[in-house]
């Protein structure tokens, strides 16, 4: 027989505890949900009261008569709203209001909740809940609602007094109500933040008895601080929160007020907007407003890897949507602490804040908590390269999104951040990382300036320690001891001088080794693409040879042909490795005459694949007599490798059809102009490009290329400098002048 019909889903009663007690992580999140409901209700204030808790050295013990109350002066709820919305899980009441275009309250606030489950956070706080609510437009009616879940077992399987195996369904749970003359919500005087205020005759009071959880003074202080951070600094609204413990208000807003002062003292400040295509307009400190396209930002490796292919072509537009931001970067390292205007308490305040996220003026949790690393900065600092990122505890940030413009950035049901829908969340984070990468560059410039100030101050005060100063001090000390006829002291000074010279020479040798190895690394990185491809092909050929030799009758002509193929593949690998060999230290021992054009052609060969893939045109011109330089080949190779590496990288970010590198070799002047038509170097960055560890490439950059180029060339009294004047440039982007002084000229 066939049995047919339909089923109607009927949720069990335990769904209430799953929503309220189990889905919401902790009491703080639960309480903040209820406070946000007060905000949605257009309340100007909300007060949270912990009543009759036993205070034992900061531990707030729950007693039989302990109560938690949340009261506000909001619009209140009508009986109709209570009946059709509040008591029903997942009510679409707020969602439908938004859909109908009624997402703004009478005060212009954007309604936050829409899932219809936040109200069940009350069951995270306690099992017996009473609600007193009085609508703003009803002067003679107060709705009273009571739900007592304490009579059920923990999982709401059934009533405690009944030993029944049949679990209760949701519609078996009963709420008692009463519509009555106002008793609780009347015009009266109440104490709010230790001051008396007049209470309006509308709003909502939630009273929770049989409270649950673990409460401490420190936890409640954290909730108060979260209340202060609830409203975005972009949003000037009249919403205030007060927390009272056993009749007393313990918490003040002094720390929040101090934070405002500290933000003004931050050495790096930025505010701006990102549009729906990822383009940024921003104002850095007191400078004029500027803008960057997503393409121009692709110099930062986070942006480049996320949105662009290896040839610099945009893969897709960002999906996260437009947003606003403010960031403040502080200098909290040990050296800075000696000169800093910040006290120890100030530094603790700064470290207790992170990057906050706000939607329509209200904070999205838990972003911004000191323990939350939603951008993954600590992970990247630990697994990639710490020095490439600003640390979490030195940045305070505020990011603002909206429900209308960022529909894909939606809250998770458990109120633990945003859902990961498509590319939206990762795109959103990638652009924030791009902004933070830009700020890291600005912070590096600030640090270089501070170092120069310290050095200048040391020079003015005569305390700057340099190699020359040390030598002068040793000579002066020796003369003094000779004058005093102190032979023992003179011997010790001579010994000190010898040991100093030895140590200095060792350190100089180590620096040279590091500089040399850096060049090898860059060249291997450039050549590795071709080498790895050919190694894979050689491995495939070798496997084929092995298979051919397993058969009974070997195909000798084919075997010979395949062996020849393998030999040619190894020959290619050998040629590539020979090309790199001049950069090794063993090959740098002796100087000889090198024609610069041949050096540049060899560098072109190293970068043949990326130049071809990115469709970059390289033009090399010789003027006058061929330029020949007496030097080691490795030094010259490394200098031009650094220059071409930078040019290829930045040309990939240029939004141009024709990408060009132009190199003019002038034998008469003993100089080379190396130029490209990429984005060029920002005027503000020019003084820093030869400084160690300064980079605008984000995590991809090491900040050593141009620094090492300068150091290597100076070993031979050569030089490299940036051409800044437009009239002296040969292309619109970055232009460098490499000067070899009085180099030897080929006959």
- What single string gives the DSSP state of each residue in 77-92? --HHHIIIIITSTT--
Report residue 326's pLDDT band, with 50, 70 and 90 as the boundaries: very high
Percent of the chain with pLDDT over 70: 84
Low-confidence winner among 109-113, 559-563, 654-658 (lowest mean pLDDT): 109-113
Structure confidence at residue 572 (pLDDT) = 59
SS3 (DSSP) at 745: strand
Q: Which residues pair with 46 in a beta bridge?
A: 72, 241
Q: Which residues of 25-36 are buried (b: 16+ CB within 10 A; e: fewer)?
A: eebbbbbbbbbb
Q: What is the DSSP letter of 393?
A: G
DSSP per position, 609-636? HHHHHTTEEEEEEEESSPBEEEE-HHHH
Residue by residue, DSSP assigns 442-478 as: HHHHHHHHHHHHHHHHHHHHT----HHHHHHHHHHHH
The token pair that represents 366 in the structure block: 């838990």
Give the CA count within 13 Å in the CB-facing half-sphere of 742: 0
Lowest mean pLDDT segment, chosen from 160-174, 241-255, 630-644: 160-174
Lowest mean pLDDT across 11-25, 342-356, 434-448: 11-25
Enumerate long-range contacts of 600-607, CB under 8 Å, 24 or more apart. 600/640, 600/663, 600/665, 600/672, 602/637, 603/637, 603/640, 603/641, 603/644, 604/644, 605/579, 606/523, 606/526, 606/527, 606/579, 606/580, 606/641, 607/526, 607/644, 607/645, 607/648
**CA atoms of 606 and 578, how far apart (whole Å):** 11
The rounded distance, in Å, linking the Cα atoms of 479 and 485 is 10
DSSP 189-213: EEEETTEEEEEPS-EEEEEEEEE-S
* Residues 649, 653, 654, 658, Cα dihedral to 10°: 60
Contact present, 40 and 77 (Cβ < 8 Å): no
Of 40-49, 213-222, 495-504, which gets the smallest average pLDDT? 495-504
* Of residues 579, 578, 587, the one with CA closest to residue 632: 587
Nearest partner of 36 among 273, 362, 331, judged by Cα: 362
Instruction: Provide the mean pLDDT of the chain.
Output: 83
Sheet of 215-216: strand order equals: 54-56, 59-61, 215-216
Q: Do 15-251 and 591-739 fold alike per CATH?
A: yes
State the number of CA atoms in the 13 A half-sphere of 72 facing the CB: 26
Cα(222)–Cα(727) distance, integer angstroms: 60
Domain boundaries, the chain: 15-251, 257-454, 465-589, 591-739
**Model pLDDT for residues 366-388, shown as the tens digit of each residue:** 898 888 889 888 888 877 776 77
Spell out the residues 6+ positions from residue 452 whose beta carbon is closer than 8 angstroms to its own: none
Query: What would the mean pLDDT of 535-547 be, rounded to a whole number?
Result: 78
Residues linked to residue 314 through DSSP beta bridges, in sequence order:
308
Tell me the C-alpha distance between 607 and 612, whole Å. 9
Rounded mean pLDDT of 583-607? 75
Which option is the CATH number for 591-739: 3.30.390.50, 3.40.50.2000, 3.30.565.10, 3.30.420.40?
3.30.565.10
Burial of 432 from C-beta contacts in 10 A (0-12 / 13-18 / 19+): buried
Contact between 643 and 707 under an 8 Å Cβ cutoff? The reply is no
Torsion of CA 314, 319, 321, 326, to 10 degrees: -70
Residue 128 has pLDDT above 80, yes or no: yes
Task: Give the mean model confidence (pLDDT) for residues 262-281.
Answer: 94
- List Cα–Cα distances, 315 to 114, 285, 319, 678, in angstroms: 34, 33, 12, 20
Nearest to 433 by CA among 467, 482, 389, 379: 389
Cis peptide before 366 (omega within 30 of 0): yes
Question: Of 63-77, 145-159, 586-600, 687-701, which has the strongest mean pLDDT?
Answer: 63-77
Q: Tell me the pLDDT tens digit for each residue of 223-264.
A: 998 888 888 877 777 899 999 999 998 787 888 888 888 999
β-strand 142-148 against 126-134: which pairing, if any?
Answer: antiparallel
Q: Is residue 345 scored above 60 in pLDDT?
A: yes
Name the CATH topology of 15-251. Answer: Heat Shock Protein 90 (3.30.565)
**Residue 87 main-chain phi, psi, to 5 deg:** -80, -5
| pLDDT at residue 715, as a whole number | 81
Q: Is the pLDDT of residue 519 over 80?
A: no
pLDDT-above-90 percentage for the chain? 32
pLDDT of 101 > 70? The answer is no
Residue range 697-713, pLDDT digits in tens: 876 666 778 888 888 88
659-666 and 616-623 strand pairing: parallel
Query: Which of the pair, 496 or 521, is modelled with greater confidence?
Result: 496
Lowest mean pLDDT among 95-99, 179-183, 242-246, 544-548: 95-99
**Better-predicted residue by pLDDT, 665 or 138:** 665
Which two tokens mark 733? Answer: 């982007």
What sign for the dihedral angle of Cα 196, 197, 200, 206?
negative
**738 φ, ψ to 5°?**
-105, 120
* 49-68 average pLDDT score: 94
């Amino acid at each position: 027989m066939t049995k047919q019909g339909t089923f109607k889903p009927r949720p069990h009663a335990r769904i209430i505890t799953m929503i309220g007690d189990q889905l919401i992580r902790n009491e703080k999140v639960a309480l903040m949900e209820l406070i946000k409901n007060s905000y949605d209700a257009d309340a100007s204030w909300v007060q949270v009261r912990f009543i009759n808790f036993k205070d034992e050295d900061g531990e707030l013990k729950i007693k039989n008569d302990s109560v938690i109350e949340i009261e506000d002066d909001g619009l209140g709820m009508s009986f109709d709203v209570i009946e059709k919305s509040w008591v029903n899980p997942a009510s679409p009441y707020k969602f439908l209001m938004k859909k109908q275009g009624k997402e703004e309250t009478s005060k212009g606030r954007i309604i936050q909740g829409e899932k219809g489950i936040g109200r069940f956070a009350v069951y995270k706080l306690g099992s017996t809940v009473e609600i007193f609510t009085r609508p703003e437009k009803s002067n003679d009616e107060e709705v009273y609602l009571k739900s007592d879940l304490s009579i059920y077992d923990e999982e709401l399987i059934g009533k405690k007094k009944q030993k029944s195996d049949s679990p209760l369904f949701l519609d078996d749970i009963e709420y008692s109500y009463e519509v009555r003359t106002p008793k609780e919500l009347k015009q009266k005087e109440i104490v709010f933040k230790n001051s008396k205020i007049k209470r309006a005759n509308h709003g909502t009071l939630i009273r929770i008895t049989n409270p649950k959880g673990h409460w401490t003074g420190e936890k409640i202080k954290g909730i108060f601080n979260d209340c202060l951070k609830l409203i975005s600094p972009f949003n000037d609204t009249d919403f205030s929160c007060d927390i009272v413990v056993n009749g007393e208000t313990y918490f003040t807003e002094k720390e929040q007020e101090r934070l405002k002062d500290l933000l003004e003292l931050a050495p790096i400040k930025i505010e701006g907007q990102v549009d729906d295509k990822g383009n940024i307009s921003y104002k850095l400190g007191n400078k004029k407003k500027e803008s960057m396209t997503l393409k121009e930002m692709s110099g930062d490796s986070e942006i480049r890897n996320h949105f662009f292919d290896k040839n610099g072509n945009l893969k897709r537009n960002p999906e996260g949507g437009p947003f606003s931001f403010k960031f403040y970067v502080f200098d909290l390292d040990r050296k800075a602490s000696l000169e800093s205007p910040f006290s120890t308490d100030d530094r603790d305040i700064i470290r207790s804040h992170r990057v906050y996220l706000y939607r329509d003026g209200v904070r999205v949790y838990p972003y911004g908590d000191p323990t939350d690393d939603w951008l993954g900065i600590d992970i990247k600092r630990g697994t990639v390269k710490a020095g490439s990122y600003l640390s979490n505890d030195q940045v305070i940030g505020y990011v603002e999104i909206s429900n209308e413009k960022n529909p894909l950035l939606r809250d998770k049901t458990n109120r633990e951040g945003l859902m990961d829908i498509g590319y939206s969340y990762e795109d959103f984070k990638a652009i924030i990382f791009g902004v933070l990468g830009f700020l890291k560059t600005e912070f590096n410039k600030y640090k270089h300036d501070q170092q120069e100030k310290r050095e200048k101050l040391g020079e003015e005060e005569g305390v700057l320690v340099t190699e020359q100063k040390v030598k002068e001090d040793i000579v002066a000390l020796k003369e003094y001891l000779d004058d005093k006829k102190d032979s023992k002291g003179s011997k010790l000074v001579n010994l000190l001088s010898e040991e100093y010279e030895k140590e200095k020479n060792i350190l100089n040798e180590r620096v040279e080794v590091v500089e040399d190895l850096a060049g090898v690394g860059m060249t291997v990185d450039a050549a590795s693409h071709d080498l790895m491809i050919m190694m894979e092909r050689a491995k495939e050929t070798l496997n084929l040879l092995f298979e051919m030799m397993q058969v009974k009758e070997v195909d000798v002509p084919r075997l010979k042909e395949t062996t020849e193929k393998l030999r040619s593949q190894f020959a290619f690998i050998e040629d590539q490795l020979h090309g790199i060999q001049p950069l090794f230290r063993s090959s740098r021992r002796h100087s000889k005459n090198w024609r610069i054009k041949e050096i540049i052609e060899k560098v072109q060969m190293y970068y043949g694949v990326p130049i071809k893939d990115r469709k970059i045109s390289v033009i090399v011109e010789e003027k006058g007599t061929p330029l020949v330089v007496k030097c080691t080949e490795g030094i010259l190779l490394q200098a031009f490798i650094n220059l071409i590496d930078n040019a290829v990288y930045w040309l990939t970010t240029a939004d141009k059809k024709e990408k060009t590198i132009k190199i003019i070799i002038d034998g008469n002047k003993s100089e080379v102009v190396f130029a490209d038509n990429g984005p060029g170097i920002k005027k503000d960055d020019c003084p820093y490009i030869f400084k160690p560890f300064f980079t605008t490439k984000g995590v991809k950059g090491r900040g050593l290329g141009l620094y090492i180029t300068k150091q290597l060339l100076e070993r031979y009294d050569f030089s490299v400098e940036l051409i800044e004047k437009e009239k002296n440039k040969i292309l619109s982007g970055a232009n460098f002048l490499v000067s070899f002084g009085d180099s030897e000229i080929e006959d």
